[in-house]
Amino acid sequence: MERFSVPATSAVSLSDPFFAPRVEANRTATIPACLRFCEETHRLESFDLKWKDGDKWYPHIYWDSDVAKVVEGMARELARRPDPALAERLDAVARRIVAAQQPDGYLNTHFTQVEPEKRWSNLHECHELYCAGHLIEAAVAHFEATGERFFLDAMRRYADCIAKTFGRKRGQKRGYPGHEELELALCRLADATGERKYLDLAAYFVDERGRKPNYYVKKEGWQEGRLTYLQAHEPPREQREAVGHAVRWAYLCCGMADVAAATGDAGLFDACRAMWENATGRRMLVTGGIGTTREGEAFERDFKLGNLTAYAESCAAIGLALFSRRMHEITGEGRYLDVLERALYNGIPSGISLSGDRFFYQNPLASNADSPYDRERQSWFSCSCCPTNFARFWPQAAQLCWALSPGEVRLCVPAASELKLENGLCLKVESRYPYDGKVAVRVSGDARPAGTSAGAQARSAARSLAPFALSLRIPDWCPKFSLAVNGKRVAAKAKDGFVSIERLWKPGDEVALDLAMPVRVLRAHDAVEADAGRIALQRGPLVYALESVDNGPGLHRISIPAKQAFRLVRAKGLPRGTVAIAGKAFETTRPGDALYSAAAPRTRLRRFVAIPYALWQNRGLSEMQVWTRES
Amino acid sequence: MERFSVPATSAVSLSDPFFAPRVEANRTATIPACLRFCEETHRLESFDLKWKDGDKWYPHIYWDSDVAKVVEGMARELARRPDPALAERLDAVARRIVAAQQPDGYLNTHFTQVEPEKRWSNLHECHELYCAGHLIEAAVAHFEATGERFFLDAMRRYADCIAKTFGRKRGQKRGYPGHEELELALCRLADATGERKYLDLAAYFVDERGRKPNYYVKKEGWQEGRLTYLQAHEPPREQREAVGHAVRWAYLCCGMADVAAATGDAGLFDACRAMWENATGRRMLVTGGIGTTREGEAFERDFKLGNLTAYAESCAAIGLALFSRRMHEITGEGRYLDVLERALYNGIPSGISLSGDRFFYQNPLASNADSPYDRERQSWFSCSCCPTNFARFWPQAAQLCWALSPGEVRLCVPAASELKLENGLCLKVESRYPYDGKVAVRVSGDARPAGTSAGAQARSAARSLAPFALSLRIPDWCPKFSLAVNGKRVAAKAKDGFVSIERLWKPGDEVALDLAMPVRVLRAHDAVEADAGRIALQRGPLVYALESVDNGPGLHRISIPAKQAFRLVRAKGLPRGTVAIAGKAFETTRPGDALYSAAAPRTRLRRFVAIPYALWQNRGLSEMQVWTRES
């Protein structure tokens, strides 16, 4: 079913002003910081299986996943860019993990050390299969980066152990992951190994979930009423609404989409589509954040989208991006990338400092003295899923900008980047995106990769001569665009979010795309109570926010007229090239000290400055708000 | 220190359109309903001391207070209006309570039956002294209504038992009430009995509270950080901010004011004044509600005044009114009555249905599908302090309208009412207050009470001839007023919130006060984030609210222009005479189904209707909001 795929990590690189510094900070700051915390908190040590009752530390049920995610990040980073020191460190950690494997293939440091008799007995709460999923993802990334099989083979044995334990045969448990993740990991394992059985296991987990009688209720004593929390209230293929814990939901959807793509299961895909529509059309913040309430880190009802209270876990935005990428790969529809891009430029990067070593777990749309969440990014959390998720996410950023299919190359996000094609050509994107809509794609390279045989050269030459379509995404926020090939204007209409030019591309060819990038005044759906009478500013893919650092304290007193000529200005104290929006605002004050008064208010004209939401709280403690009252 | 006092219950009566029906409903519905629930829930039975371990019910630590409050209500009602059936019932319940008293005077059905060995061991949590306070208040009311002493004497013995247990002498506990109330009750007991020792005990409780080393921390293991919850973080006389559980705080302040008034303790009074200023000037809802967060039913920081989340327990508003009344009695300053009136016409009556038998525990300033609280009034609560508080509050309504001092009669709230003076004169207020500002006060009666001796007649005549000041309150909301005596305009200036006319008042005299009562557009202090860009309407003492019953669903889409000619209209489905406010509003809709869109919004002119906040949710389930966006 899948129509598009991502390019290999090594085939792409970024040089844009937004992601490239994040990817670099991931290598120099995020990964080292996560490794350090994994050591300091005994997460790594836990794999040595030397924990004893009475020790000062205790192997937590989700620790293995944190280490696995850092390892995945290290492997993806290594695949992106050779680094002997990193390779050595990765090898050491991977071997330390594998050494904890039990003779039957089982690998979980909590259950092995703390309660070995309770293996697989509390799936709904204990993250056992979730940790397995992340270990498998780490092993696949390790294999792809190094070509070495020891970790992958170990995780195959673990997957085989899981396949033996779970299923519909006599003597097997009919359980499934309490925190979904393993489903998508098994699909990756099936891809990496070519072994269908792992896909079948993923399909089993997706299909068995939520069946009646409910496994969690019957076997583990979980409450019927709390099944929505983990999307086990009905079989996923019957689900149409995005409910429960948002990260669990997003990972489940990724797994469902993977299974649907690999098996052509149209019913499963329909459920994915319906849930994606519900999540993004009625339950998503303007930043691409999902899971708006702290209670259960979960989705709320349609259109309930508070600002100060918006939970929007960093991991959930990452999950939504990964799910949306898959939906595009299956359908080729650009609207999935519109959401991917929204998360990519807003709700995901807001979770991490520009320095790469400070993190937000929650990403609300307003923050002030009354915020129920952290007002400054933290270096680590006791439940530290978000930092380690960034470690493995940023090395994928360049891949998310492109999509490939036989005969088509798609530029999904026109950040400055380079893609090496198998035919020897190289596509280089030049732009200041997301700060400017002018994009040039230059074709370079030739058909003769250096140092190859004459035969290979001939084959390359033949490939390079085949025509292919170069498709450029026209984002949902773009009101108009122009396109030129080699300086000649092309009248192209966007279809499903893309304009496409099919031709025999040759080195020296150049495509120029000019995406109009005005400041857009957004309003939320009428049903969104929290945003009534409020506007948000978006320019290009960036959603903007006011910070008190620029505007002084008391952001709630500011209102902005929607109709005005906004100006683009330099953002003070943020990286060179960052574009801020300035304009006129009103500030209303009511005279007197009385708590309530009928005194006439005074309104003064003033200036406001808004910066990209993704970059807030990089200049110290600050009030922040995305939705401002319209005046 | 006290300058003013309330008239006796039997000296006053109401005939206004707002309170009189509530007082009547209290007699016919509230008191009978509370009694029925006290029976059904075994609260009354608990006094028979026949509870056994294993019974289906369990005497809760606060049950005694609920029964005591209903008894107080019955007694106050009986004092207001003779009723043989009620008298009989009151006598029976009072005797049932007294029968539970232990030989040493102790009376608590929880500790006596459930854990007799734990008496006085957990003051901070177990409501033991709180229940004692309400029992004492009930006994005083019973004595005042019936003249019988058995209940009062029993409670004197209980107070003596408490006085023996607590104090600074060797062998005494240096504890004090975890939930304040006893302090004010002991002052009432001292008044009723003329015994100074009860006042001394009240003063001890007020003075000992919060001293270091802290009793709760040292003796009962309570956390230092949670002492503010029960105002025991420092001695009350040193406190300047309103903190912690709002009902506890209000009752403590009443007790402090009573002790200060009786002893002339200026330092204690200063603390009362500072806390009242903080509570009402920075932490009070526009309805007179206090204690804005559910967490601990407590005060929040200055100017944090959410609407949907505003907790504002009914009992807390009652407590604030009782405290404010005391502050006026001590100072004679009208601003205390401004707050009293705000609570009296808004945040108190909102807690009870017009039918008298349905209750709100919380009184938020907005309610819709996202409300964290009850959206409809309930008939009872497991913690049912509010219903029983209404039962004892409404019979006092008429008393709150007047204040007396030697040589002065004050009309504090010009609701239609009648006050019989000791000199034989009767003051009759005619008005449609709070719906109209025209007030007439007619003097009637004569110096010869019928059927008395010639000597008594002579004394009455002499009294009736003494001049006295009749003072009429000019509320804070009133921009201008006119005054006439016997049809002749009097140029009077308000001082401390009152205009005063001293003369030899005679039957037939008439004072006409015309309080201008325009619709006032209120704005909150600039620091109140929740109300930024919003207005509330007030007319006279009534704060108004929009209900979806009148305005259709989606109140958040409505905005109201502040400058317009508001119209007074009849409120549909509410008692005859209720005045609603109508005017023009705007409703903005954004076209399209997109969750976020830059589409231009459409604004249409429409009508709005607002009703008195106190009367909301008397016409079925409805959205409600007090603060509406200004357009």
- Give the per-residue pLDDT at B447: 52
User: Min CA distance, B282 vs chain A (Å)?
Assistant: 6
Q: Are A61 and A117 in contact (CB under 8 A)?
A: no
Match 């001939």 to its residue by tokens. A458
Active-site positions of A read: 297, 385
Contact between B581 and B628 (Cβ < 8 Å): no
- pLDDT bracket for residue A127 (50, 70, 90): very high
> A538-563, pLDDT tens digit by residue?
999 999 999 999 999 999 999 999 99
Helices (H), A26-167: 31-40, 63-80, 84-98, 109-113, 128-146, 150-165
Compute the nearest-CA separation of B529 from chain A (Å): 6
Whether residue B626 contacts residue B611, with contact meaning beta carbons closer than 8 Å, is answered with no
CA angle, residues A145, A146, A148, in degrees to nearest 5: 130
Question: Considering only CB atoms, which chain B residues are within 8 Å of A369?
Answer: 301
Q: What is the CA radius of gyration of chain A?
A: 25
Q: What percent of chain B has pLDDT over 90?
A: 95
State residue B465's pLDDT score. Answer: 66
Q: Please report residues of B whose CB lies closer than 8 A to that of A290.
A: none
pLDDT score of A382: 85
User: Shortest CB distance from B596 goes to which of A368, A524, A554?
Assistant: A524
Nearest CA in chain A to B560: A533
DSSP H stretches of helix in A343-438: 385-393, 397-400
A64: tokens are 């293995």
CA–CA separation, B217 and B226 (whole Å):
10
A vs B, Cβ pairs < 8 A, gives 99
Bridge-based pairing state of the strands A558-560 and A628-630: parallel
Confidence of residue A155 (pLDDT cuts 50, 70, 90): very high
**Rg (chain B; Cα; Å):** 25
Separation CA A417–CA A414 (nearest Å): 8
> Domain residue spans in chain A?
1-7+240-359, 404-515, 519-630
Q: pLDDT band for B355, please (50, 70, 90 cuts).
A: very high
Cα(A546)–Cα(A541) distance, rounded to whole angstroms?
17
Helix axes B182-193, B196-208, angle to 10 degrees: 160
**Testing the interface with B: which of A596, A625, A629, A630 to mutate, by most B Cβ within 10 A?**
A596
Nearest by CB to A595, from B525, B597, B599: name it: B525
How close is the nearest chain A Cα to the Cα of B62, in Å? 31
Nearest to A533 among B527, B528, B559 (CB): B559
A599:B523 CB<8 A: yes
For testing the chain B interface, which of A526, A538, A587, A626 should be mutated: the one with the most B CBs within 10 Å?
A526
| First-to-last C-alpha distance (Å) of chain A | 49
pLDDT tens digits, one per residue of A130-147 = 999 999 999 999 999 999
Q: Return d(Cα B108, Cα B123) in angstroms, integer.
A: 13
Closest CA of chain A from B452, distance in Å: 53
Chain A environment of B594 (Cβ under 8 Å): 281, 525
pLDDT of residue B451: 44
Closest-approach residue (CA) in chain A for B595? A525
The whole-number pLDDT of residue B448 equals 47
Nearest to B556 by CA among B628, B631, B610, B630: B628
Does the pLDDT value for residue B218 go beyond 50? yes
Quote the pLDDT of residue B382: 85
- B522/B144 Cα distance (integer angstroms): 42
Kindly report, residue by residue over B117-127, the tens digit of the pLDDT. Answer: 999 999 999 99
Contact list, A368 vs chain B (CB under 8 Å): 529
Looking at this protein, which amino acid is placed at residue A102?
Q
A595:B284 CB<8 A: yes
β A408-411/A468-473 pair status: parallel
Cβ distance of A536 and B595 shorter than 8 Å: no
Which helix (H) or strand (E) segment is A296 a member of? none
Task: Return the pLDDT at B452.
Answer: 47
For residue B588, give the nearest of A532, A13, A151 by alpha carbon: A532
Residue B502 has pLDDT above 60, yes or no: yes
**What letters, b where the CB count within 10 A reaches 16 and e where it falls short, cover A328-363?**
bbbbbbbbbbbbbbbbbbbbbbbbbbbebbbbbbbb
Whether B578 has a pLDDT exceeding 50, the answer reads: yes
Give the one of A523, A536, A601 whose C-beta lies nearest to B590's C-beta.
Answer: A523
Q: Which residues pair with A403 in a beta bridge?
A: A410
pLDDT category of residue B433 using cuts at 50, 70 and 90:
very high
Length of chain B equals: 631
**pLDDT value of position A463:** 52
pLDDT tens sequence across A455-479? 555 455 445 468 999 999 999 999 9
Q: What is the mean pLDDT of residues A90-100?
A: 98
> What is the spatial distance between Cα A300 and Cα A282, in angstroms, rounded to a whole number?
10
Q: Which chain A residues touch B593 with a CB distance below 8 Å?
A: 281, 525
What's the ipTM? Answer: 0.95
Instruction: Decide: helix, strand or coil at residue A88.
Output: helix
| CB-based contact B595 A528, cutoff 8 Å | yes
B77, B208, B297, B329: the active-site residue? B297
Helix (H, G, I), strand (E, B) or coil at A503: strand
Pick the closest to residue A519 from A609, A439, A431 (CA basis): A609
Q: Do A595 and B536 touch (CB under 8 A)?
A: no
- What is residue A448's predicted lDDT score, i.e. its pLDDT? 47
| pLDDT tens digits for range A181-234 | 999 999 999 999 999 999 999 999 999 999 999 999 999 999 999 999 999 999
The CA distance from A22 to the nearest CA of chain B, in Å, is 28
A301 to chain B: closest CA residue: B370
Instruction: State yes or no: pLDDT of A375 exceeds 50.
Output: yes
State mean pLDDT over B541-565. 97
A455: closest CA of chain B, how far (Å): 55
Which segments of A406-507 are extended strands (E)? 408-411, 417-420, 425-431, 438-445, 468-473, 481-485, 488-490, 498-503
A573 vs A620: CA distance, rounded Å: 10
User: Residue A571: its pLDDT value, please?
Assistant: 94
Are A598 and B521 inside 8 Å of each other by CB?
Answer: yes
Instruction: Report in angstroms the alpha-carbon separations of B282 from B252, B286, B417, B504.
Output: 19, 11, 33, 43
Are the Cβ atoms of A594 and B304 closer than 8 angstroms?
Answer: no
The CATH code for residues B404-515 is 2.60.40.1180
Mutate to test the interface with A, among B295, B365, B526, B538 (most CBs of A within 10 A): B526
Predicted pLDDT of residue A452: 47
Tell me, yes or no, if B34 is annotated catalytic. no
| Ranges A284-288, B29-33, B379-383: which has the least confidence | B379-383
For residue A465, what pLDDT is reported?
A: 66
> Cis peptide leading into A84, omega within 30 of 0?
no
Residue A65 has pLDDT above 90, yes or no: yes
Beta bridge partners of A541: none
Task: Name the average pLDDT for chain B.
Answer: 95
Q: How far apart are CA A105 and CA A128, in angstroms?
A: 14
CA B378 – CA B374 distance, rounded (Å): 8
Interface of A with B (CB under 8 A): 280-282, 284, 286, 301, 303-304, 368-370, 520-529, 532-533, 536, 538, 554, 556-557, 559, 588-590, 593-599, 601, 629
Chain B residues lying within 8 Å of A520, measured CB to CB? 598
Specify whether the CB–CB gap between A360 and A372 falls below 8 A.
no
> Does B595 contact A284 at a Cβ distance shorter than 8 Å?
yes
* Contacts with A286 from chain B: Cβ below 8 Å: 595-596
* Predicted TM-score of the model (pTM): 0.93
Residues of B in contact with A301 (CB under 8 A): 369
Give B-chain residues touching A595 at CB under 8 angstroms: 280-282, 284, 286, 303, 524-525, 528
For the beta sheet containing A481-485, the strands, ordered from the edge strand earlier in sequence to the opposite edge, are A12-14, A417-420, A425-431, A438-445, A510-515, A481-485, A488-490
Residues of A in contact with B520 (CB under 8 A): 598
